[in-house]
Structure 1
Amino acid sequence: MGHRLLLVDDEPFNLELMAELLEDAGFESVQAETGEEAWAILEKDGANFATVLLDKMMPGMDGFEVLKRIKSTPSLEFLPVIMQTAVGAAASVQEGLSAGAFYYLTKPFSREMLLAVVEAAVSHWDRHAYFKELATQQIEALRNLNEACFALRTHKEAQQVTTLLAKTCPSPEKAATGLFELLVNAIEHGNLALSFQEKTALQADGQWEHELERRLGSAEYGSRQVTVRFARDPESIRFVIEDEGSGFDWEHYLSAPGSSLIETHGRGILIARRLSFDRLEYRGKGNVVEAQVSLR
């Protein structure tokens, strides 16, 4: 079996249906019918789960309380939680996203939507686990680094730079998750001028990787670079990322409520702003962003 998921719902039929759909897609599942049961499982074995699918409305300890406990527990705070609810009101959605939910599914949802959201959450968890493992290696020497500048073009180079720079931070795996998201945005939506709508359509057609390679090799976009500047002082660590694109409406993604970001658009910025950095600031037209980690 593949990744292990915790399914939480007070309706046994819903649990059986989700388990069958997810196990057919290669996921292993553990089921809980109450919030209390789910929390007991997570306290004992939380490190072995890649994602939690959590019903919001349950008697006793509801899903929102389980979510708050997950996000306030250091060993679980990066575990992706997909909230499920029959209530689609903006206030309900925003409440969950503000508390750290990865995504919101409104019942009833299709098999395709369920699998797409779970696969996105599991990929997010895999990246976090990868960076967490790498962050434990060769950290000591980087604590003496005060300034650095890097230039990169591709996702692989972004991963390498992220792995190195994250080790300068007090919580390397936490910084790495957000830093990589910002670099990917700078490459894809900055230098390669791929809109969020284009990415969605290309992924649906199975042409996303091909189009990335095509643009990286083109005369129009191929020479563009993303610059990453690192600086440390007694108060903070700062990363300034600049791409050569035309910018975007960054104010929307920094000021909009969580409920307006329920689509895939802006997820990287949301993750960086809420989970990885103490301050995130875009400048000018949006092709420069500064992310800050406090050392106090």
Structure 2
Amino acid sequence: MTNTAMADRIATGAGFIAALDQSGGSTPKALRLYGVEEDAYDSEAEMFALIHDMRCRIMTAPDFTSDKVLGAILFERTMRDTVKGMPVPSYLWDQRGVVPFLKIDKGLEDIANGAQVMKPMPGLEALLADAKALGVFGTKERSVVHEADAHGIKAVVAQQFDVARTVCAAGLVPIIEPEVDINSATKAEAEDILHEEILTHLNALDSGTNVMLKLTIPTEDGLYTDLADHPNVLRMVALSGGYGTDDACARLARNPKMIASFSRALAEGLMHRMSEADFNAALAANIDKIFAASK
């Protein structure tokens, strides 16, 4: 069974979900944006230690609390690590009132039919059991749609819901994330196809099976409103997809059924060499913008 207090918080709470789940492939870029170049570390272990320090600065900042942050998506290493001497999921929920999620996908396959499905996830059931034991509420799994190709979009959505059923069986709530590339020449057309595929799969779920949706902010405002209102959808969140903070927030504000789940926009302007006061002020400004757009 999922944690009822966490489920209530996600379903009805005000705020947004912070994405702190950069993986091995995206960590160097995240660190560069943070002002840490690749010559600052000599190994993968040192790289992950630096990104964990950044995440700890964010998680322990004065404004990173349940007042404006509903949840946080964690990379597996982060889930298994500690902050202020506590397991990260426990710290988030017990000290901050922030619901912990886990990124479970292992990256993307090459593009086929204009889309990228997820790579195989060996050991998924064991990982889900560990996450459940550590107090994690849900998961996140990402695919990418690049073109309005019905075959590719069908494959992405079918795989997403297959994984979602495994997650639900483990007592966790999946965040289904079929991202649409914001630079796609057929973004609007792809979103129309994606909408219909998601709706078909939602309608096939058993009553009482809860999922969440994480979608690119659509070209057509309000396109996904009916999905957000679907009885099997606990909450619908938006990814920033490469839009800057101001642009992402403006687009999100035109889609009142979506709340934010931003990564780059959340960390925009945060630098390694900032004083704690300057870092906290910059993060607070980003949190305020994203929170306001998520209302």
TM-score past 0.5 threshold: no
Of the two structures, which has the highest relative contact order with CA contacts closer than 8 Å and spacing of 6 or more? 2
| TM-score, normalised relative to structure 1 | 0.29
| TM-score, normalised relative to structure 2 | 0.29
